[in-house]
Amino acid sequence: MSDHALRLLREQPHLAELAAFPFNFDLARADHGEAVRLASGGPLEAVAGDDTGGTYFVCGDGSVLYADSEGSAGIIGDSVDEALEVLVGLPGWHDYLGLAPDDGEEKIRAAVAETEEEIREYHGIDDERTELRAGLGLPERSPVELIGLLHAALLRTEPDFLLLNAEEGGAHALLDRHPRPPLWEAVLARGRTDLTLLREGSAWDEVAGDRARRALALRAAQFDRREGDLPLLRHLLRHEAEASMTDELRLAAVLVGLHGCAEDLPLLYEVRETDFDTWCGLGGMPEPGADPAELGRWARDLDDSLFGTDPADEPLFTWTGLAHEQGLVELARAALIRRLDDIDFRAYCDARDGKAMERRDASQLSSLVHEFEKLGDTFQALRAQRLYVPLQTRAWDRVSALLRLARLEREEGRFGAAIRTLTSLRETLAEPASGADDGDGDGDGDKSLGHWQRTNLGAYIVEEHYALARTAATDTALADEVRALTVAAGELMGRLSGTARANVEQHLAETTDTHTDIHTDTGADADADPGAGVSAEPTPPQPSAG
């Protein structure tokens, strides 16, 4: 990292003037005009701009990120010095974003010569380039070398330097259009290496004993199947069973089962009986003593419906989850943000054309919320949840979605928005769209919220009201809204069944400690409905990834 040239430009006005014209690196144009940030949360400092509205940013490691005025961004140098080498040596660099070293010297020199001749029709660049290079101490490099530097820098943009609109959260497009390897290729690299080690007979315990390495090795075996892999697959299966039910456990069972060996039936049965989750997840598996052909059919059916041999066919969330497990957090984050942007854009187009957002996006949005929360990225989780809420037509689902939205807004410090969301939630509780159908097939309207007071959902709703009231109390501008929220929380508490209310009171006692600003006494009989329990209807406020 070097900022030698940047210091000289700031100290010597004449050099700064040369950089600004004719090389369009103007220290006086460092205001980008809109708030932006890196998806990774890394530091970003605007240092210069150009006459097209583009801005040059210095990142935490010294890399220079250029963002144009059209919503594209890319790394153009490992340092300000290197970026200036490119800008001074290739004053028409915007025209070369599609060039790569593989294009060959002849094509590169011809493209640069053509652009520079066009520039010379309007102003000089040769003497100015010589003077600026000398003043900044920049080496003289050939156009071919500079295209190589620019190309390598651009390819580093994603994932570590993904630029976002700070307010809306959408990502900038890549400045160039050079092809990148698919996500699965980067994620599988370690798994392929470990699979080779396993096949060589080494590192069996090291790979099998590490959850992330074991999962990747199994995925590598999924896409590179060999007859001699059965012993190592059995070894990985035994260890994966210790993690209870996972996608990789099912995959390991399928890969073992595909070999159709009768001696594997006791092992597979033992794995299935590990716990209730594995018993459910490996349902339909033949029991010991069954015909090996039956085992093969079971494995092939699961393989055809869930796995296969092409990594490009795997869901995005398979690869982002495995990337996260490896510590490749920014790789996972960038892929998830790109997917969310695609859905967001479709929603915008549908709204523009007067169409409803497609239901097929609902499960993807739910999974995106879950994955972003696992990454600790509440900001992007909130983006996804906002798109998810309008897709819920059943009253129960709508209330659950609003509850999660309120929690995310609270965690992001958007207390006013969270209070409004809980108001919408209470309105849905009061009028759950009686004319709609709840999907049970009886055509009697939407009665899905008929017993919310006796469920986990009811308890979660009250707990979120109190959590928001306690947190938002720090914002004096919301004093009236917080008081109204606290009153609403008390009223909801009074409507809960005895058991559900007791659960909330226990939770509040555990979380509020010495807080005395939240009052839960509603005057209702705490022992009302003493026989009421919590409904068995599943009400996860945080749905798992699909």
67 falls in which pLDDT band (50, 70, 90)? Answer: very high
Peptide bond preceding 179: is omega within 30 degrees of 0, i.e. cis?
no
User: What amino acid is encoded at 197 in this protein?
Assistant: L
| Residue 334 dihedral angles phi and psi, to the nearest 5° | -60, -45
Q: Give the Cα separation of 148 and 234 in Å (integer).
A: 47
Burial tier of 333 (Cβ tally within 10 Å: 0-12, 13-18, 19+) = buried
Give the dihedral sign, CA 225/226/229/234. positive
480 falls in which pLDDT band (50, 70, 90)? Answer: very high
* The token pair that represents 306 in the structure block: 């869930």
Mean of pLDDT values over 506-530: 55
CA distances from 20 to 24, 116, 146 (A): 5, 17, 20
* The token pair that represents 519 in the structure block: 């009052």
**Three-state secondary-structure class, residue 139:** coil
Could you tell me which of 45, 19, 288, 317 has the C-alpha nearest to residue 187?
A: 317
DSSP-derived secondary structure for 207-232: HHTSHHHHHHHHHHHHHS--GGGHHH
CB 429 within 8 A of CB 443: no
Q: Give the Cα separation of 545 and 276 in Å (integer).
A: 20
Flag whether pLDDT at 537 surpasses 70: no
Give the dihedral sign, CA 261/263/269/270. negative
Give the percent of the chain with pLDDT over 70. Answer: 91
List pLDDT tens digits, range 360-369.
788 899 999 9
List pLDDT tens digits, range 92-106.
999 999 999 999 999
**Residue that is written with structure tokens 């957002």 in the block:** 357
Higher model confidence: residue 377 or residue 355?
377
Q: What integer pLDDT is reported at residue 438 of this predicted model?
A: 66
Q: Which of 283-287, 485-489, 504-508 is most confident?
A: 485-489
Q: What integer pLDDT is reported at residue 465 of this predicted model?
A: 98
Taking all residues of the chain, what is their mean pLDDT, rounded to a whole number? 91
List pLDDT tens digits, range 230-250.
999 999 999 999 988 999 999
Flag whether pLDDT at 194 surpasses 50: yes
List pLDDT tens digits, range 418-430.
999 999 999 999 9
DSSP-derived secondary structure for 457-474: HHHHHHHHHHHHHHHHTT
Flag whether pLDDT at 24 surpasses 80: yes
List pLDDT tens digits, range 173-188.
999 999 999 999 999 9
CB 421 within 8 A of CB 405: yes
Mean of pLDDT values over 258-276: 95
**Residue that is written with structure tokens 């942007």 in the block:** 341
Flag whether pLDDT at 113 surpasses 60: yes
Q: Give the Cα separation of 401 and 399 in Å (integer).
A: 5
**Residue that is written with structure tokens 């989850």 in the block:** 321
CB 92 within 8 A of CB 143: no
Residue 398: CB atoms within 10 Å: 23
Q: What integer pLDDT is reported at residue 263 of this predicted model?
A: 95
Q: Give the Cα separation of 217 and 22 in Å (integer).
A: 54
Flag whether pLDDT at 35 surpasses 50: yes
Q: What integer pLDDT is reported at residue 120 of this predicted model?
A: 96
Flag whether pLDDT at 2 surpasses 90: no
**Residue that is written with structure tokens 């025209």 in the block:** 95
Characterize the bridge pairing of strands 55-59 and 44-49: antiparallel
Mean of pLDDT values over 44-58: 97
**Residue that is written with structure tokens 């965690």 in the block:** 411
Peptide bond preceding 22: is omega within 30 degrees of 0, i.e. cis?
yes
* The token pair that represents 181 in the structure block: 């390897």
526 falls in which pLDDT band (50, 70, 90)? Answer: very low
